[in-house]
Structure 1
Amino acid sequence: HLPQDPLISLLPEEDNERKLNYNPPAQKSLQEIQEMDKDDESLVKYKQTLLGPEAKNTDLSGPNVRVTRLALLCDDAPEPITMDLTGTALEEKSFTLQEGVKYRLKVYFKVGWIKSIFLYHLFCILPLPPESSMVCMMGSYGPRAEEQEFLCPADETPKGLMSRGQYQIKSCFVDDDKNAYLSWGWNINISKEWN
């Protein structure tokens, strides 16, 4: 079981009626799921569509979700902005963005088990207290040997003299069971020009 991250408190609470009426099925291994209902041709095809042909070759050791990198996509940026999120590369990073530009975040990850994944961001304008937060439901993903990706909805950097400066961001990848797979801090500097 993974440790809980403080950002999980940002997750919207499930209403009590939904909690009471849902009993999750017992957890089964990928092999058990693939072996079930072998006589039902339509179910076998459905599972192959859902899991993909490479599910048999997926490495199920280690965490269910491995987040590998994050890219900040902006048509106006002079160069690609990417962040390696693996191993020792995961240190606090700073990026400079021009004020008032549209951007999108692209998340690259690997899934070893069927999971619904959320991406949380807590934005702070230093040295003020937390300003805002964002929760992005990335969807449910089946196991794949290759890296998968998710493109977050478009957003715009703040604009104006008062919005320039450093924004400290705390990000966290969480599944629908509220297990945190990766949590890290990074900074965005909003400036008048790209410099």
Structure 2
Amino acid sequence: MSDDPVAKVEGGIEELEIESNYKPPPEKSIEELINADKEDESLQKYKAALLGIAKETPVIVDPNDERKVLVKKLALCVEGRPDMELDLTGDLTNLKQQKFTIKEGITYCIRIDFIVQREIVHGLKYVQKTYRMGHQVDKMTHMVGSYPPKTEIQSYKTPSEDAPSGALARGSYTVHSLFTDDDKHQHLKWEWSFKIKSDWKD
């Protein structure tokens, strides 16, 4: 994170766009992937193992939710301390009231727990913009990767980074988060908050 204001907030969370010249390949369903190269038995076995799913048994964890990615939880992870978690399955408007406290200068990472259902998801990305006093102070985009559907929760951890330190860094921050993919599907977007203090108990 940076503690120098660099840009004023204008459109809030809707500004979480992905700018790239990369053109993703056409999206293919599980059925299309399995049916390709049907004459190659060894390749079929490899794909079945890789996908972890057979054509006749699609993975549907929540039949009432048409999304392919169900984002369950965000956690702030600091070595030697319990993970600080946000439940992303309920009313997202309440998340801003839950404010993480971070000791200045500590090393931390963010973990996101999610479930992929129905189809393979290509090129998942986690985009985060951080604001302080109405000004954007940081933006990061993490390439999460491509995932097959599974009934189990899958997780991604961002690389470790250091929280800002010093008197100017202390205070409250608002974060706009977006979980998206190569096809620009917005699987979930939400806002949350944290506060940097000189010590955990201050």
State the TM-score, normalizing by the size of structure 1: 0.83
Cα separation, 2, equivalents of 1:189 and 1:128: 15
Partner of residue 74, structure 2: 70
Partner of residue 157, structure 1: 163
**What's the CA shift for 1:171?**
0.4
**What's the CA shift for 1:175?**
1.1
Structure 1 174/7 Cα, relative in aligned 2: closer, same or farther at 3 Å? Answer: farther
1:122 aligns with 2:129: yes
Aligned length: 181
Partner of residue 150, structure 2: 144
Percent identical: 33
Cα separation, 1, equivalents of 2:41 and 2:161: 44
Partner of residue 172, structure 1: 178
Cα separation, 2, equivalents of 1:129 and 1:30: 43
Which ranges of structure 1 fall in alignment gaps of 5 or more residues? Answer: none
* 1:13 alignment partner AA: S
Structure 1 130/111 Cα, relative in aligned 2: closer, same or farther at 3 Å? Answer: same
SS of residue paired to 1:12:
coil
Cα separation, 2, equivalents of 1:102 and 1:81: 14
Contact residue 76 and residue 83 of structure 2 kept, 8 A: yes
**What's the CA shift for 1:76?**
4.5
Deviation string 1:57-89 (CA, Å, 9 cap, x unpaired) is 510742011100011110253x32111110336
Contact residue 73 and residue 89 of structure 2 kept, 8 A: yes
**What's the CA shift for 1:45?**
1.9
State the TM-score, normalizing by the size of structure 2: 0.80
Contact residue 54 and residue 144 of structure 1 kept, 8 A: no
Structure 1 45/94 Cα, relative in aligned 2: closer, same or farther at 3 Å? Answer: same
* 1:187 alignment partner AA: S
